[in-house]
Amino acid sequence: MMGGPRLKVPEELLALKDAAAAEPEQAGNGTGRSPLWTAAAVLLGGLMLSWPALYNGFPLLYPDSMTYLDDGPTVARAVFLHQFSAYYGMRSFFYSLGILPFHWNISPWPIVALQSLLVAWVLWLVVRTVATRHTISRYLTVVLLLSMLTGVSWYSAFIMPDILGPLVYLSIYLLVFAPETLSRAERFSLYPISVWGIASHTTHFMLAAGLWLLLLLFAAIERSHFLRRMRSLAEVAALLTLAAVAQLALHGYLYGKPSLNGEHPPYLMARILGDGTGRKYLEQHCPQVQLAICKHLGQLTDDSDDFLWGPDGAFASASDEDQKLMLQQEMTFVLATVRAYPREQLAASAANFWGQVKSFGIYGFDPNPWILDNFATTLPKSRGSYIVSRQARGVLPLDLLTDIQLWTVLASLAIIAVSIPMLWRRYPLRLAGLSLIVTAIVVANAFVSGVLSVVDDRYGCRVIWLIPLLAATFLLEWLTRWGSRKKIGTMNRQAKQA
């Protein structure tokens, strides 16, 4: 039997319905949103992210923090006044120079403001790629939850370059997978953040370069947006190149020899010795090989940090001549050890990798006498404020914070696992790109840190908050689709009534 006459749906409603159906794939670039509201939201987000420093009563410090603060003026005098020094330190000069205008060896509080605002800004751009409606309220909700339940706020308030790494990886996501959501000014704002972040730590450069190679492979496999993706990857390659050239130029200017790392201790040698395979190699081969480390065989322990930094450590206590020889012979020693004991080293490296995957507690903020001793030369006017801080008194609830983050990460993994089948039919490419980046970074960070350096909660904690952020984007995507379906249902009812 033939049905009754079909209702004619107004063309305006059909257009609205098509737009609503396509909405999950289209995140606006905010051009229709007041810049004042955006600025207010980012400022409020920055304030949320700085709460650990406010709670502590002082910016959070680590022994390396004092080095970064102290090296800046020395490097600046060499660069701008041509007043060279015999020693500039072993940390990133670019982080030291970047934060120098924000402390001038007076107070580190402006550094917390800078880092918190940078994190808030990049998170705004990321959240906006999936939250097409109620963007500001959803952004503030995400920032509030991340700041209270993960370590992102603790690293924003931490005078270390650790937080800049995740900003680089999220900037790569924005430039490669969501360039159409960025205005020209927003796009340009990511350039200095990315270059500074890449140049601020060796691992940031390594991870960003590895991520670029992975995304290049992804673009070749995907093909559907190959040319656009290649243009974005060329943009990222230019940022990596600029950071590398800046490192080479600055180290060449200061030392007379270009390098990406400058002066640095033998981390790989320390790792191999800590694994036991290096010590085993030396005990069996020192009579036949000419290695400077053989002179200090009796000082070796299984603690790689003790080797590098301990007062009686083999490297720390060696003469300048022996230290230079150890650095020159580092790769020779490492490769010889790996060739001699491949299975043992593979087992040790695998254990280190897995240990780093599981290590992401909010630790490393304990009181340290070395920090206090260096206030006299680094931050003389702030010493009194630091002494009364919770960190200096050793009363920060780090175990509780670690437990909260652990359960947050586990809950986030569950949300992601449940959401993937729900979104599988129309899995947004942006969400796929962010998932790829977060997964790759968490895994690669564990490899670079645990296998090539040392297993440390701080190394895992600086990136683990990206998993809850990814889970939040899945929830926002689901909310966007639910809102679109609701809008389509309303338009269907309106069409039937027309």
- Which of 445, 470, 243, 469 has its CA nearest to residue 359? 445
Pick 354 or 313 by higher pLDDT: 354
pLDDT at position 493 is: 66
What the block records as the tokens of 29 is 């670039």
What's the pLDDT tens digit per position in 384-440?
A: 999 999 999 999 999 999 999 999 999 999 999 998 877 666 667 889 899 999 999
pLDDT at position 33 is: 63
d(CA 278, CA 271): 8
- In the 3-class helix/strand/coil scheme, how is 297-337 assigned residue by residue? HHHCCCCHHHHHHCCCCCCCCCCHHHHHHHHHCHHHHHHHH
pLDDT at position 246 is: 95
Q: Could you tell me the pLDDT band of residue 10, with boundaries at 50, 70 and 90?
A: very low
pLDDT at position 26 is: 45
CB 448 within 8 A of CB 206: yes
DSSP per position, 68-113:
HHHHHHHHHHHHHH----S---SS-HHHHHHHGGGTTTT-SHHHHH
Give the Cβ contact number of residue 343 at 10 Å: 8
Find the largest Cα–Cα distance for the chain. 99
Is pLDDT above 70 for 141? yes
Pick 483 or 205 by higher pLDDT: 205
d(CA 123, CA 193): 13
pLDDT at position 4 is: 44
Is pLDDT above 70 for 487? no
pLDDT at position 399 is: 96
What separation, in Å, do the N-terminal and C-terminal C-alpha atoms of the chain show?
Answer: 24
Backbone Cα Rg of the chain: 26
Average pLDDT, the chain: 88
Percent of the chain clearing pLDDT 90 (strictly above): 67
d(CA 448, CA 433): 22
Which residues on neighbouring strands pair with residue 158, listed in sequence order? 60
The pLDDT of 84-100, averaged and rounded, is: 90
pLDDT at position 16 is: 42
pLDDT at position 490 is: 63
pTM: 0.90
The pLDDT of 62-70, averaged and rounded, is: 94
CB 255 within 8 A of CB 85: no
488 three-state secondary structure: helix
Helical pair 202-222 and 184-199, crossing angle rounded to 10 deg: 130
d(CA 320, CA 430): 51
Q: Which long-range contacts (CB under 8 A, 24 or more apart) does 404-409 make?
A: 404/149, 405/149, 405/150, 405/151, 405/360, 405/361, 405/362, 405/461, 405/464, 405/465, 406/360, 406/361, 408/149, 408/150, 408/468, 409/150, 409/360, 409/464, 409/467, 409/468
Is pLDDT above 80 for 485? no
* Sequence-ordered alpha helix ranges (H) in 364-465: 369-373, 375-378, 383-387, 390-393, 398-423, 429-446, 452, 457-464
Pick 352 or 262 by higher pLDDT: 352
d(CA 197, CA 208): 10
What's the pLDDT tens digit per position in 257-266?
A: 888 887 788 8
Is pLDDT above 60 for 275? yes
Pick 452 or 482 by higher pLDDT: 452
What's the pLDDT tens digit per position in 149-163?
A: 999 999 999 999 999
CB 291 within 8 A of CB 328: no
46 three-state secondary structure: helix
The pLDDT of 462-487, averaged and rounded, is: 85
The pLDDT of 139-148, averaged and rounded, is: 98
Helix (H) or strand (E) holding 491: helix 466-497
Which residues on neighbouring strands pair with residue 60, listed in sequence order? 158
What the block records as the tokens of 286 is 């020192």
Q: Report in angstroms the alpha-carbon separations of 363 from 60, 91, 150, 459.
A: 11, 21, 12, 10
Q: Could you tell me the pLDDT band of residue 491, with boundaries at 50, 70 and 90?
A: low
Pick 318 or 137 by higher pLDDT: 137
Is pLDDT above 70 for 498? no
- Which of 298, 332, 370, 448 has its CA nearest to residue 307? 298
